[in-house]
Amino acid sequence: MQSVQIETEQQVVVKKHARLLKFLHDCKHFIITQKIGFVSILIILVMIAIAIFAPVIAPYDPISQNREAILTGPNAEHIMGTDDLGRDVFSRIVYGARISILVGFGSILLAIVIGTILGLVSGYFGGIIDMVIQRIMDAILAIPALILALFIASLLGPAVQNVIIAIVIISIPQFARIVRGEMLRVREMNFVEASRAIGANPFRILLKHGLPNMLAPIIVVASLGFGAAIIAEASLSFLGIGTPPPNPSWGLMLSNASRYMETAPWLVIFPGLALALLVLALNLLGDALRDFWDPKLSL
């Protein structure tokens, strides 16, 4: 009995080691075959590091005002200039990365969890459950995403958590639809039929057989969804119903800067570049992951 237990533990160790080697091999293969995707990962990691270490990187308090340095152009003291209230633009961009990344990643992660659960249940059980869930998804998709987000955010009021709620609601259908489609395919496979035959309960089948087969499409859609969520947050903040002032949001900075595009173009250029760089990196990463998992798409 003891020898059998030792062999089982050894098998577990061997399987973990094999999974680790496969993961490292896949990472190496991704770096070699998807160089743009690898560069995108580096840009995203740099942005995340900037957001985490914002208090160390930012030379000034992002909300402190200096009436003696209003609308000052880029110089040695303020490398990206100051805004109409004398606030340092570079410091506000650094702290603004926190809000953009928090909203983008937080909202999409919540949408992944909810959408995946709905998609798995809908695709596996079918019938009336599938019909009810899909009609709800259709109702959400029937309204343009930005208009629905505007309605929800304006209804709840300007706050970061309300922006996240609005983006989660408009993002759930894309994950639910993709997971449902994959689950409809997976539930007819032989290993799922074998699990049913030996009496495995639906929860175990969904967790052990359904979810692992969804990871690749979920990750690809999520990497594209992160960029869309960040753009949505910037759009809501630009319209005045997103992140409330004086919080340094990139969209709010662009909204305030629209009045000074001719006299102080740096107020638009630098936040716009930061937003465009992060969204572009996320979109390029999504394309790279899609090509990596489905090489036929790159032909």
Structure tokens at 281: 């990196």
Hey, what domains does the chain have and what are their CATH numbers? 34-298 (1.10.3720.10)
Structure tokens at 47: 């942005």
Q: In the structure, what pLDDT confidence band is assigned to residue 92 with cuts at 50, 70 and 90?
A: very high
Nearest to 292 by CA among 32, 19, 44: 32
Q: In the structure, what pLDDT confidence band is assigned to residue 294 with cuts at 50, 70 and 90?
A: low
What does the mean pLDDT of the chain come to? 83
For residue 88, give the 3-state DSSP assignment: strand
pLDDT tens per residue, range 206-239:
777 777 777 778 887 888 788 888 888 888 888 8
Q: Which residues pair with 88 in a beta bridge?
A: 82
pTM (global) more than 0.85:
no
Nearest to 170 by CA among 146, 134, 203: 146
Nearest to 104 by CA among 224, 271, 261: 224
Q: In the structure, what pLDDT confidence band is assigned to residue 57 with cuts at 50, 70 and 90?
A: very high
Residue 53 has pLDDT above 90, yes or no: yes
pLDDT tens per residue, range 8-29:
666 656 666 666 677 677 777 7
- Output the DSSP codes for 50-82: HHHTHHHH-SS-TT---GGGTTPPS-SSSTT-B
Give the mean pLDDT of 77-83: 89
SS (H, E, C) 182-225: HHHHHCCCHHHHHHHHCCCCHHHHHHHHHHHHHHHHHHHHHHHH
pLDDT tens per residue, range 250-291:
888 888 888 888 888 998 999 989 988 988 888 888 888 777
Interior CA angle at 222 toward 36 and 130, to 5°?
A: 145
